[in-house]
Structures are given as structure tokens and as C-alpha cells.
Structure 1
Amino acid sequence: MIGPVNVTELSASAFKQFLDSFDHVFSDCDGVIWTNNTLPGSGEFFEKIKQHGKSVHYVSNNSLRTQENYEGKFKAAGIENGFEKLTIPSTAIAEYLKSIKFSKKVYCVACPQTIKILEANGFECVEGPESVKGYEDYLKSLDGDPDVGAVVFDSDFRINLIKLSTAIIHLRRPDVIFLNGASDRYLPVKPGHLALGTGPFNDIVIEESKREPIQLGKPGKIFGEFAMKRAGFTDPSRILFIGDMIEQDVVLGKNCGFKTLLVLTSNTEEDMMASNIKPDYYAETLGSLVPLL
């Protein structure tokens, strides 16, 4: 296949070949199913795709939402049991730490929900400080805790200089594990509009600590494999990943061997064509595919 294929321009026979090329769907949520509100036709798309015998699960980098918030979002889109079929970084991070029988403290530069999930799984989390009074106070605060055995980054929108510096200090010890959840440089606000995310701060810590994190969010291969295991999928070539971001969603698909479909809610067709990394398929929105199903 040469270049991304616009699914809405496929002939009936070619569209059938497209449907026959996968058995399972992984879909991102923010920017694909909803922005502030449900995107038209997204829930109907999943209903119809399931009528074609496809199983559907959801994969998001957004650990910020509570379970109640996610359930409300899925319900508004007309999607049943969406939260039960959702994989997010906070879950992956907790399961990873359990898998290695981790027992030390976790220094968290993370959103409250990620910390809540880690604590619910029995891990002792430390964080902050949230602020310092000035230069001298900053210098006095730069102490590492020898009981910290892991540093976790995941969507801390209260991030500051002292948190970055504390994380780097801990990561200078080679025995401290470095785990990264969401690494999004940009976040979808509404169709066609992006806001800066927390990803650039992750990049600072990676550069200054000279450590590569275990990537337990998109586009990390380990995260994709974790999502597959949770969903019970075994053959990546039979999975279609639907997303709106090239760096997170399309790259995850490439890393894991999924087929990829980009919806143009956060990128233009020109953005997509100019990128070095391109999806296999694209469409304006999920709703634009509903008439074909």
C-alpha cells in the first residue's frame, strides 16, 4: 500500500477488504470519541463495527480522569462498558510495579489520579514540593530520598522546577527505576486546536538524567503489549488502532505492528502528509465512516 488511504474514498470491494484485514479495534478516546463533547457519530461507529464481528477496546494516555468521569463520557457517546475495556498509563504503571514485586517508595511527578491508583495498589508515593519561596529555599530542597526506588512521570499539570530537579537527583542512582506514562507534547482541546502538554518536561528529565524511561504510555511498545494482554489479543497484525495524534497513536501502531487509522480531528491532511510517519488509513472523523458501515 502506497501512502495513507482515505477510507471514505474506497470502493465497496476495497472497503470490504479493509474490514476483512482486522479482527480487533483499539481506539484512543480524547480527540477521537470526544473533545469537550462527544464527536458526532463516534458511538454509532463502534456499534456498527461490532456488528461486523469486531471486538473493541480503548487505549488512552489520559490518566487524569476519574472512573466516574470516564463512565460519563462513554455513556454520553452511547458506548456501554467502555471503562471496563479501557487501558491507561496509571493502570499499566501499577501492574508493572506489581510484576517486579516493587517495595520501595515511588517519587511521583504525576496527576492525582495516577497517585491514587498507585496507592490503591499498595505503593507508597511521595511527591512535591508544590512550591519554593525562592533561590535559597530551592537549593535547600534538593535532597534525594534513599528510600525512593522509582520515579514516575504521568501528566502532572502542577509540574515545577523543584519537581524536575528532585526527579533528576533520584535518577542519578542507577538502581532507581524510571517509568513514564503520558508523553504527549500536545493535547486536543477541540477539533483543529491543540494545547501544550507535559511531554516537553519529560524530555528535560530524560536529557538531564541521561536515562531512558520504561514507556508505559503511548507510543511505548510495552504499553501496547500490555493493552493487548488485557484485551486478550494475540496477533498484532489483526488489530486496527484508531487515533488522532501521529506521535502517540500512529507511532504506537508502528511500534507494535498494528494497522493504523488516523482521524483528522487534531491534524490536517497536510500535516499528515508532511510527517515522516504516516498512518495506513485516514478519515475526517469516525462519524464520516458510519454511512459506509
Structure 2
Amino acid sequence: MISQVITPKMIDIMDTKSFISDKTANNIYDYEMFGQQVVESCLELETKNDFKRLMSTFETILYDCDGLLNLLSAEDIDDGVRQEIVTEIRQVLQKLQKLGKQVIYTTNTSQLTRDQMHDRLKSAAIETQLDQLFPTSYVCAVYLKAIGFDRQVVAVGSDATVHELTEMGIQCTDLPTHCTPNRKQLGFASFKLNPDVGAVIIANDQYIPLPTLVKACAYASKSDCLTIVTNSDMSDSLIADNCCHKPDIRVVANKGFVSLAKPHYFYWKCIQQKHRDLNVDQCLIITDGLDRDIEFGCNVNIRTLFVKSNTNCLKTTTTTTDQLFYDKLNNNNNTNNCLPVPDYYVDSYSTFNNYI
């Protein structure tokens, strides 16, 4: 069982603060400066012996596949560039598995079920098993099952989340996309709340209809209703393609929420629910992003490996949260901030392939 989450009042304490949120000023960071700080603050893997020593230390790889999944679905990228990156990543993953490493694929998307995620990776000739895949749509179902949740759920913005909840035996309630006007109070709407609903899940969809969002807020404001978000990236300053409506829900509900995505602790606890033998000392996070997965490693005490050059490629070829993040980094001159940095870094997947 996942402990310490019984009532909404307890949840606010457990929500970790994002390292990019500053509500009083636009304190975003300069990418070039941050990049230089990274290479000066962590160990660069430069030789085969470096890789051999590193790989002998870890049994499980938590591979951040957010960038890979976005790359596979991006329409505005040259196919040759895409194929080159995907081939390098696939070769690294295959070599890790040949070394006997357990690979777990992590992602903050709630728009894919595990089956859909499996199929998308398979399209890149990356073979996986369902127990290796952890989209936040599935993590939500794992979390509610682990805490013994036995009420109904309102899931907004993700059919994949509804599917995974249903597969886990958790009943979902639909929210209509319209409200009935209140004839006695102009400007107000009338609707009834289902007393059996005990949780609201807000997924990463910027096109949630306003009436649906209003009803979700009404449920979330109930004292006996959990509020769960599947992705809180860039939460307090931006509503983006894969960011959720967390600020709206939090302001209206006026209480804490559970974030079941990286970099938050509960994402790790849900992985442990399905892989109970995992030891943080034998796990390594591999990521091509400088934001949430590095912080995720810090939050759960797992060491991190940053693949440098792939991030540089992705930031210029995809329209993801990472793209928006790096745009904001590049447009700011404030460098007086302390950010989590990886434990190790390598200059490219190509180098990784040569030395592993």
C-alpha cells in the first residue's frame, strides 16, 4: 500500500515544489549558462572504462522516453534526422538489455495507454513488455488501486486514463460538456454532483471544455474528493500542449492535490508497486532533458545520466514542453539560480553506443 495519503489535507504537504516556478518574477534560466554549469558539476563519461564501471553499478534503467515518444509522433521534423536519433536510442536500449539490465520506460504522457505506448515504441523497432511501461494514465490507476480507492472517478482530458482505470476495475463517471442555465440566478448554472465520486483526475489536455472544467472544479472542491493531476510541468506560468489545468483546479478547490508525474515522488512509488524488488541504489535514470527527470532523480534519490547532444537536437525539432522550456531558458538573462544537475553526462547517444 502507498501510505500517507488518506485525506486531501495531507496531500498538500507531499507535493514537491517545481524548481522552475517563481510566482513573483519570471525567473527562468539561461540555457547556455545552465548547460555549462551541468558539464562543470557532474562526471563526464569519456572512456569505455567509465561506462563499464557505471554499468556494473546499476541493475535497472529508468529510461525517460518523453522525448522519444514526441519524436516519433512529431510532424515537423526531417525523417532522416528522426531515423538517425531513433536508431541511436534503439541501439543503446538493446545493448543495455543484452547486459542484463532491466529497462523501465517512464513518461509524463497520459494520452497513451500502455498498449498504445507499446505500439508506438514497436513502430521504432523497440520491443517492450507492458510491465515495463509507465505512462501517467496507468500510474493513476496503480495509485488509486494501491490506496484502496473504492469510489467513482471523474477523469477529464484523457480517454487513455479512463481506459487504464477501467482495466483496473475502477469505475469512471462521464462529465457532460454543457451546463443547464439557472433561470433564477442569471450568469449561474445548475448541475448536480454525484455523491459517489471520490476523485477527480485532470489530464494533460488544453482543450477541455469550460463547462467540463467547471464541473471538475466543483467535484475537486469537495472535502472528501481527491484531486489528481497527471502532469504539472510548467504549471504556474503556462498552459501548453502537454500541461494540465492544474492552476485552475487548485485555485478553485483551495486544497492540495496529488501529482502522479515526474518529478514527483508518487510516480516512483507507483513504479515500486509493480516492481517491489527495485532498489534506488541500483537504479539509474537516463534522460535527454535537463528539467523534470533530473529533479525526479533528486526527489527519489536515484542517480541520473544526461545524454547531452540529443537534447540539443530535440529542442530545435519538436514542439513539446521541453521546447517551450528551452525557449524560455534562452530568452532570459537571470542566471542566479540553483538547479538540480545530473550525476553523469555523455555528449551523445553515438558515444554511448561506442563505449557501452
* TM-score interval, smaller chain: 0.7 to 0.9
Matched, 1:179 2:215: no
Matched, 1:163 2:212: yes
Matched, 1:102 2:149: yes
Most deviating of 211-220 and 258-267: 258-267
TM-score in terms of structure 2 length: 0.68
Q: What is the deviation of 1:98?
A: 2.4
SS of the equivalent of 2:127 reads coil
Q: 1:283 to 1:83 in 2, by over 3 A?
A: farther
**Equivalenced residues, count:** 282
Task: Give the partner amino acid of 1:43.
Answer: R
Q: 1:66 to 1:222 in 2, by over 3 A?
A: closer
Whether the 8 Å CA contact 2:205–2:241 is kept in 1: the answer is: no
Structure 1 unaligned regions, length at least 5: 187-194
- Greater strand proportion: 1
Q: What is the deviation of 1:135?
A: 10
SS of the equivalent of 1:27 reads strand
Structure 2 unaligned regions, length at least 5: 1-38, 73-81, 316-321
Q: 1:116 to 1:13 in 2, by over 3 A?
A: closer
TM-score in terms of structure 1 length: 0.81
Task: Give the partner amino acid of 1:90.
Answer: S
2:101 corresponds to which of 54, 60, 77: 54
Mapped partners of 1:115, 1:58: distance in 2:
21
Task: Give the partner amino acid of 1:291.
Answer: N
1:10-159 residue pairs with structure 2 within 5 A?
10-32=46-68, 35-36=71-72, 39-131=86-178, 139-141=188-190, 143-159=192-208
Q: 1:104 to 1:229 in 2, by over 3 A?
A: closer
Q: 1:211 to 1:132 in 2, by over 3 A?
A: same
Mapped partners of 2:349, 2:255: distance in 1:
38
* Matched residue, 1:258: 302
- Deviating 4+ runs (over 6 angstroms): 133-138, 272-275
Q: What is the deviation of 1:240?
A: 0.8
* Matched residue, 2:9: none
- Percent identity of the aligned residues? 23
Q: Summarize deviations over 1:105-138 as a string: whole Å, max 9, x none.
A: 2121130111122123333322333356999897
* Matched residue, 2:319: none
